[in-house]
Structure formats: structure tokens, C-alpha cells
Amino acid sequence: MHVRIKPGWELAESAATPESVYLNRRTLIKGVAATSILGALPSGCARAEDEEDDDPTADLYPAQPNSQYTVERAITDADVTSRYNNFYEFGSHKKISAAAQALRRRPWTVEIDGMVETPMTVDIDNLIRRMPLEERVYRHRCVEAWSMVIPWSGFPLRTFVEFARPTAGAKYLRMETFHDAEIAPGQRQFWYPWPYVEGLTMAEATNELAFLVTGAYRKPMAKQYGSPLRLAVPWKYGFKHIKSIVKFTFTDERPVSFWEQLAPPEYGFWANVNPDVPHPRWSQATERDIGTDQRIPTRLFNGYGEYVADIYAGIEGERLYM
Ligand code: MTE
């Protein structure tokens, strides 16, 4: 039986988020892995940023800014981006920041398996401490036609891939989010194919732009951004930016992502930003900057073509923009 699940992002934004909300607010350890939460954000709820001080890696921030990755648009205020999130594990709407505080960030381990020289499980703090942390300002463009600009901290995915030592036959990197319905009420919604999964080709994963994020706004990232480890691939639509990753699998089979499983014609594997290729039910020509509420033109590869266009040479027959 085919069940058609309608992502919350398909709602008109005015229906999903009241204007007032977005305008007014702003030791390597080896061998070790249909509820609605619609309550409005309680006004007395702790600011998400306050919770980051107890992070065991807090001393690593602020990370050194990498001046190569800046953008011409203003950085979107943290009070806006931390209260306008997609994280279906905590609810199928934008106001999940309060619910996401249930996420337990430690202990947290990351499993590396599949086509690698040595499968292993690493402790997140040891991993973060051995990686070269830096800050990059990236545009973030959701398939839903809104966008933000965020200063992420983290390390190149390429450096992580070198650390993981995939074997020559690996063609793809499959990533998986935690699965714990005790803390994530959305995961009790059995009709979704939990856990959240995303994938990249090895060429994409080793592109210099692909970034594993550990922090935002010069500190460990707030839980709703996908703490303690998420992906940023800024030339692709936001749903590729998998949050709260617990597993990396190197494989020769193309991964089928969460949304691709649900609606293959609408959310494909590649999902590269292209203003000229509309989503089946809406245009992708423009996007709303949620910081300024201005509608601005969308750019091919979200403006990052100089870094990534080469990856797709010779495979133009693929559905690269869906
Ligand atoms: N990762 C997980 N595990 N669960 C999700 O629901 N939503 C995706 C992506 N990563 C999602 C996820 C979507 S649709 C978008 S647009 C971005 O996260 C949103 O990231 P943000 O909340 O930091 O803006």
C-alpha cells in the first residue's frame, strides 16, 4: 500500500509559521551506537543558546573563521534561525526548538562501517577534538523556498572521510540520524521511515564545501540545529543537511533518503538547488530570506557553482535538481 505523507514544508509558510514568530524573534572507543508537539514555544523557555555552555567541547569555540567562505548577505539572527527549524523527530512544523531540548547530546558515539579498512565507533568529543575546527558562513536554502545565512563551525567532511579510510570500492556515503522514540516523539509516527537517512556520492562528500557542523554562532550548536553533529552541503536543498548523525556507512549502493522513500518524484537523491527546475508543486525561482522577509532570486547551486559544477559533468541525464 502506498501511503502519501505530506511533509509539513508543503504547507504555505504563512500557515506553518505566524509572521510574528519569525519577525519578532529572533578517547576513541572502539567496538562500542502521530504525536503532535504543537504547543507554542513557551515564552519562559530557556534560550537555546544558554544551554550550550555545558558542552564538553565548549572551550574550542569560537573557531577560526575561514574567510574563503563568506557570503554577501547578512547573517540571519540566531534568534530567528534557532526558532524556525525542520527536525521531524521533534514535530512536523517549524516550532520544534523547545521540544528538541529533550535531545541527549552526551554520551554520543558515531559509528563508521561498510566499505572501510576498519569499522569503528568513535566518541563524539574525541572526534571533534581531533578534527580541524573552523567557522564558515554558508547560505542555507530549503526546498520549501525559504533561506537563511548561518555561521557554522565544524570541519570538512573530506577530513572525516580521510579519517574513516574507505576502501576503493566505496561510491557513496550513507548517513543516519539517531533513533530513539523515547525522546523524539516524531519517531512514534510509524508512517515515517525512521531513522532519517541521507546520502552523498564520494565526489560530493569529498568536495571542499561539504562540512560537518558541530557549532553555530561561535559556540556549540543548539540542539534544534541537529546537535552534536550535522551536515552542511550548501549547494543542495536543506533536506540533505541531515541532523544529529550517529552513523556513517561507506557503500557501493546509492542510499535512499528519508524523503526519497516517502515521495520519490518530489525529493530525489541529488537535490541540487536550481531556480529553473520547479518543485512539482511550486516554483524554485525565488526564496524568502527569513531574516529580512525579502524575496530574492534563487541561484543555481545556491550560488556555489564554481565549487561543485564539475562534479556533475557527464551525468546531466540524472535528475540533478530534484
Ligand atoms: N535531519 C533530520 N534528522 N530530521 C529532519 O527532519 N530536516 C531537514 C534537514 N535535516 C531534518 C533533518 C530539512 S527539511 C531542513 S530544511 C534542514 O534540516 C533544516 O535545518 P535547520 O532547522 O537548521 O534550518
Protein residue with its CA nearest to atom 19 in ligand 1: 86
What's the pLDDT score for residue 293? Answer: 97
Cell match 553533529: residue? 229
The stretch 76-82 carries a mean pLDDT of 98
196 lines ligand 1 (CB under 6 A): yes
Q: Is the pLDDT of residue 5 over 80?
A: no
Q: Is the pLDDT of residue 172 over 60?
A: yes
242 lines ligand 1 (CB under 6 A): yes
Q: Looking at ligand 1, which atom is closest to the CA of residue 85?
A: 22
What's the pLDDT score for residue 7? Answer: 56
Considering only CA atoms, which of 122, 236, 113 is closest in space to residue 170? Answer: 113
Protein residue with its CA nearest to atom 8 in ligand 1: 239
93 lines ligand 1 (CB under 6 A): no
Q: Is the pLDDT of residue 290 over 70?
A: yes
118 alpha carbon – ligand 1 mean position (Å): 30
Q: Looking at ligand 1, which atom is closest to the CA of residue 244?
A: 3
Q: Is the pLDDT of residue 22 over 80?
A: no
Q: Is the pLDDT of residue 37 over 50?
A: no
239 lines ligand 1 (CB under 6 A): yes
Q: Is the pLDDT of residue 167 over 60?
A: yes
From CA 240, how far away is CA 232, in angstroms rounded? Answer: 8
Q: Is the pLDDT of residue 279 over 60?
A: yes
pLDDT-based confidence at residue 44 (cuts at 50, 70, 90): very low
258 lines ligand 1 (CB under 6 A): no
CB 118 within 8 A of CB 31: no
- Average pLDDT of the chain to the nearest whole number: 88
What's the pLDDT score for residue 14? Answer: 37
pLDDT-based confidence at residue 2 (cuts at 50, 70, 90): very low
Burial (CB < 10 A; 0-12, 13-18, 19+), residue 302, is buried
What's the pLDDT score for residue 54? Answer: 82
235 alpha carbon – ligand 1 mean position (Å): 15
- The larger pLDDT score, comparing residue 9 to residue 181, is at 181
245 lines ligand 1 (CB under 6 A): no
Q: Is the pLDDT of residue 40 over 80?
A: no
Q: Is the pLDDT of residue 6 over 90?
A: no
The stretch 236-247 carries a mean pLDDT of 98
pLDDT per residue as tens digits for the range 110-145? 999 999 999 999 999 999 999 999 999 999 999 999
Cell of 161: 572521510
What's the pLDDT score for residue 53? Answer: 61
147 lines ligand 1 (CB under 6 A): no
- The larger pLDDT score, comparing residue 202 to residue 2, is at 202
Least confident piece of the model among 15-19, 260-264, 274-278:
15-19
Considering the chain, what percentage of its residues have pLDDT values greater than 90? 83
What's the pLDDT score for residue 51? Answer: 55
Q: Is the pLDDT of residue 86 over 90?
A: yes
257 lines ligand 1 (CB under 6 A): no
